[in-house]
Amino acid sequence: MKLFEKFYRLFVKLANLLQSPFLLAIRFYWGWLFFQAGWGKLHSIPHVTDFFQSLHIPLPGVNAWFVSLLECFGGWFLMAGLGSRLVAFLLAFDMVIAYITADSDALKAIFTDSDKFVHAAPFAFLFATLVVLAFGPGKFSLDWLIARTLFRKKAGA
């Protein structure tokens, strides 16, 4: 039994080494996709505004700019790991609104037809942002460097 416990502890220790690289990969991949989506929206604000208007989103022009800027710059912040949890929260909220307004049928099918829910466009974006929100950006991030610097200064003061 002692051998199994040692093996398991070693396995967990090695698996834990994957956390920060995994979070970096998620942040880079999905941050880049958010950036591209936002950049595309910024270059076609009239079309985004019309689309938002067709979905009956209040203040479609203001919201088109807000969502475009959030996705564009939020993607960069996510990739850098700067303000990661706040940005992830805002982007997750953005994806929830996308489900409610543009993919409401998929949202309503969350329990009755889960395939429809998980294959909807916002799902992977929402899932990625929730991972960063729940687990943070990992050690390969500006957030980690800033926190490390701040805590060092406080401990030395």
pLDDT in tens, 26-57: 999 999 999 999 999 999 999 999 999 999 99
- Look at the block and give the residue holding tokens 């880079």: 28
For every residue of 3-65, DSSP letters joined together read: HHHHHHHHHHHHHHTTHHHHHHHHHHHHHHHHHHHHHHHHTTHHHHHHHHHHTT-SSHHHHHH
End-to-end CA distance of the chain: 47
Mean pLDDT of 3-18: 95
- Look at the block and give the residue holding tokens 């203001």: 62
- % of residues, the chain, pLDDT over 70: 97
Q: pLDDT averaged over the chain? A: 95
Rounded Cα–Cα distance for residues 54 and 113 (Å): 26
Domain coordinates in residue numbering, the chain: 21-156
What φ, ψ does residue 42 adopt, rounded to 5°?
Answer: -60, -30
Q: How confident is the model at residue 156, as a pLDDT?
A: 55
On whether the CB atoms of residues 62 and 18 are closer than 8 A, the answer is no
